[in-house]
Structure 1
């Protein structure tokens, strides 16, 4: 009888030990999943933080509306005093007729852009500043005050006639572009000519504006 009791007791211990081993195996199988869940979470947070980081350049672009053909870059720099904007940070947006439709402005940061909004609200209510895209800035030409626009060139005028009109001025004849723009009632013939410096372009404006080319009066404008 003792032999039978000992055999039955051994059988129960084996079954209990088997259940314990199965439980331990199950725990070990589940543990890696818990550990992997805990290690995945930080990488998700770090990627989210990287997404929210400010770009290293911090540049912000805006387009200023409400300017006229008499508005200069210097006027806008003075208007936005304290907003970290220089003459090189402004480009004039010209329509096909070369009437200025606005100015693109490059700000060094969002804080500078917000400061410009406040400055316009205080002392420049005739203007409106809207956010713009970097691509608009990149596609825009900056004449930088070193080019002049001649308007009203006679249809029969050739480049030599235009050079004679500008006699006494220092300019680069190879940059001359002659074109026609539609207007009412007649189209207007124009030309753009580049000068080595801003002073020389301004000299051409002061000495040649409303002068005559083949008995036709020519309007001269400095392009910014």
Structure 2
């Protein structure tokens, strides 16, 4: 037999075929062990249908007070962002829900990913569980308008949101002219006045007036220059709605 024939016979022998098939079986055994290990070490939270049903991407929630139906009237978006530290939130990810007399009922929050939503639960628990967090659908978020309003262009700064300011304590005998004199020096929309009344059990009702400002700077200037100023000898509290 020639050397070439001997080599061909050796390559086609049984032991060589067994040697070629060994890697496939070993890979299959490794895959089985790997999948078993992965199944055993999965996070318990993934078995929770509440989290499992949440799609990848944006997740929406509502934050409300635990001991009372409102969050208060002085909370700012920055307060909520600091409370939910590590959730990667911005001003545009929060919409406040006020009642008809402008107490803060709750806040709608848009979380960038599901992990941020889950982290919010942890942060609330770590900080004493002062709030409730419930998951909501995107339709609720889309239907809720923000008091920030639409963006308008400032030629020096760029685009800034419209802002609305609540004036608390305007006298009942004050006319529109009196209110405009109170806001003298401020840049505001005089056609945007909205009026409401907040009743109180132990004192007289409070007259509320909401007015729109073209930019955040205009609203901030009005707050800084007019807060606790007097309208017809009555002090007026200014509060920027967010």
TM-score by length of 1: 0.67
Whole-Å separation in 1 of the counterparts to 2:140 and 2:54: 21
Does structure 2 retain, via aligned residues, the 8 Å contact 1:63–1:103? Answer: yes
Whole-Å separation in 2 of the counterparts to 1:55 and 1:121: 24
Q: Which has the larger radius of gyration?
A: 1
Segments of 5+ residues of structure 2 without an aligned counterpart are 1-51, 66-70, 149-161
Per-residue CA distance 1:199-224 (angstroms, 9 max, x = gap): 22122112211211122221211111
Between the two proteins, the alignment pairs up a number of residues equal to 172
- 2:164 is matched with which residue? 147
Per-residue CA distance 1:41-91 (angstroms, 9 max, x = gap): xxxxxxxxxxx99757x3321111234333211122223233232110101
Once the two structures are TM-superposed, the CA of residue 118 in structure 1 deviates from its matched residue by 1.5
Equivalences for 1:85-164 in 2 at 5 Å? 85-123=89-127, 125-144=129-148, 146-164=163-181
Segments of 5+ residues of structure 1 without an aligned counterpart are 1-51
Q: Tell me the SS of whatever aligns to 2:238.
A: strand
Q: Tell me the SS of whatever aligns to 2:129.
A: coil
Once the two structures are TM-superposed, the CA of residue 148 in structure 1 deviates from its matched residue by 0.7
- 1:180 is matched with which residue? 197
- 2:82 is matched with which residue? 78
Does structure 2 retain, via aligned residues, the 8 Å contact 1:79–1:124? Answer: no
- 2:210 is matched with which residue? 192
- 2:61 is matched with which residue? 62
Whole-Å separation in 2 of the counterparts to 1:166 and 1:110: 45
Whole-Å separation in 2 of the counterparts to 1:124 and 1:88: 26
Over 4 Å off, 4+ runs: 52-56
Cα RMSD (Å): 2.5
Stretch deviating more after TM superposition (141-150 or 179-188)? 179-188
Whole-Å separation in 2 of the counterparts to 1:132 and 1:53: 12
- 2:233 is matched with which residue? 215
Compared CA separation, residues 72 and 164, structure 1 to 2 (3 A) = same
TM-score by length of 2: 0.62
Once the two structures are TM-superposed, the CA of residue 156 in structure 1 deviates from its matched residue by 2.1
Q: Which has the higher helix share?
A: 1
Identify which of 165, 188, 205 aligns with 1:171: 188
